Amino acid sequence: MSVLIRGGRIVTAADDYVADVFVEDERIALIGESLDIQADKVIDAAGKYVLPGCIDPHTHLDMPFGGTVTIDDVESGQTAAAFGGTTCHVDFVIQGKGQTFAQALDDWRAKAAGKQVIDMGYHMAVTDLADGGTLEELATLPDQGVTSYKLFMAYKGALMVDDETLYRTMEVAATTGALVMVHAENGDVIDVLVKEALAAGHTEPLYHALTRPPEAEGEATNRAIQLAHLAGAPLYVVHVSCKESVEPIAAAREKGWDVWGETCTQYFFTSLDDIAKPDFEGAKYVFSPPVRDKSNWDVLWNAVRTDTLSAISTDHCAFLFDGQKTLGKDDFSKIPNGGPGLENRLQMIHEFGVRAGRISLNRMVELLATSPAKLFGLYPRKGTIAIGSDADIVVFDPGKQVTISAKAQHSKVDYNLFEGTTVTGSPDVVLLRGHVLVENDELVASPGIGQYVARARFGQELKPARTAVA
Ligand code: URP
Ligand code: ZN
Ligand code: ZN
């Protein structure tokens, strides 16, 4: 099937111009002015932006966590992503205690089978090197396109690893060409603070934030940076929420160290005021790192504008308010940690980043598509509009007004962190490898169309390919 996208404003991380895009055999075949060519489908993009499909490098679909399982499975989560203009994401495989990495990968592949609406890759979250996965097995993962290792420095007694596991994994990454990712919060200290808060009778959601102070994030970020430098491994700090964590990343990058960081949409818009809401409403804002003081919003906008932080993800980890968050009604430490966001990242960053004059349109594309593609071994097959790249394209209408609401969303979750926010600018048509996924506010394609993408090693390019590796 061929598609001609006529007269749109093509915006990449570097360019901004009006042209036609011709798509054939799932890839971008031609870009030019007033192309004289026949196509099976023509999309009039006059007055609209033609953007590369966004890439979300941080999601948790169908993941057991906090005594329950995230509410969005691969089908509902990826459907929400498609409506939001995201055409590829990298999800976290979590190694269960005692599991080999192969077993963990098999589990995650089984959850995705037949359900994929967009393309996806996997990171491997290492939780146990003592009994199950070995360093030797870890070293083989990049051969299967799993080219990033994630370590949790928090969630004591669950996903948290000690510094030995962290450092040994970094040593493996230094030799295999994998990128190390860290959830940087000091889990031991948080555990003490949580116990002290509960002993003092503090059970409400606000104490989730008060027991995870910015210093705990700053300390862990700095520790991970120093250890990664020692091991010679590249490092990516996920979900940076505050100045205390931005500063060590900025310092490392100024020294030319191989350190990158992301923040997530929610950290620009949520604060301690939200988690302090009465009647357990604050539980909707229980995620980690927690909401912070509002003074951090400007710190984060500045960091993404200046490339101290290089990507904006969603950390979509959705739990129902009614039935899942309520597990912690009487004890904030039992509220499953995580929030939704997969559907609204592009709308929110366009509205409050680009339209508000905080970042340029090119920078938005870089933060949501091109940088994640480059950092996670997907570029130039994905993350840009170029001849030969996968035809993952968002025709974005900069004049379309949408009021964000849980009622209208495609995720299964029963709330939205940005409820009631009106944005001007939203995806109109979304294509995955030239197949129309979303048009006229309908999902047009069927689950099964998405593919697994074997990612290139850190720093290497992923060449455009006709057939994806299954
Ligand atoms: O609260 C969060 N962020 N839940 C998802 C797991 C993680 O830490 O990324
Ligand atoms: Zn995390
Ligand atoms: Zn996460």
What pLDDT does residue 463 have? 87
What pLDDT does residue 468 have? 44
pTM of the entire predicted model: 0.98
Q: Alpha carbon of 391 to those of 5, 53, 121, 215, 230: distances in Å?
A: 11, 8, 17, 43, 40
CA of 58 to the centre of ligand 1 (A): 9
Q: Which residues of the chain fall below pLDDT 50?
A: 467-470
Atom 6 of ligand 1, nearest CA residue: 338
Atom 2 of ligand 1, nearest CA residue: 338
Residues 72, 409 contacting (CB under 8 angstroms): no
CA of 152 to the centre of ligand 1 (A): 9
Ligand 1 atom closest to the Cα of residue 317 is 5
Ligand 1 atom closest to the Cα of residue 58 is 9
What pLDDT does residue 467 have? 47
What pLDDT does residue 470 have? 41
pLDDT per position as a tens digit, 334-351 = 999 999 999 999 999 999
Task: Give phi and psi for 28, each to the nearest 5.
Answer: -80, 120
CA of 61 to the centre of ligand 1 (A): 11
For the CA atoms of 368, 360, 271, 405, the dihedral, rounded to the nearest 10 degrees, stands at -70
CA of 315 to the centre of ligand 1 (A): 7
- Record the tokens describing residue 116, joined without a space: 């994929």
What pLDDT does residue 466 have? 54
DSSP string of 421-468?
-EEEEEEEEEEETTEEEEETTEE-SPTT---B--PPPTT--B---SS-
What pLDDT does residue 464 have? 81
pLDDT per position as a tens digit, 228-256 = 999 999 999 999 999 999 999 999 999 99
Residues 424, 399 contacting (CB under 8 angstroms): yes
Q: How many residues does the chain have?
A: 470
Q: Spell out which residues have Cβ within 5 A of ligand 2, the ion.
A: 183
CA of 30 to the centre of ligand 2 (A): 40
Ligand 1 atom closest to the Cα of residue 155 is 8
User: What span, in angstroms and rounded, lies between the C-alpha atoms of 251 and 134?
Assistant: 33
Identify which of 69, 153, 183, 333 to mutate to test ligand 1's pocket (most ligand atoms within 8 A of the CB): 183
Residues 352, 268 contacting (CB under 8 angstroms): yes
The whole-angstrom distance between residue 415's C-alpha and the CA centroid of its chain comes to 19
Q: Alpha carbon of 7 to those of 19, 165, 376: distances in Å?
A: 5, 53, 31
User: What span, in angstroms and rounded, lies between the C-alpha atoms of 35 and 56?
Assistant: 32
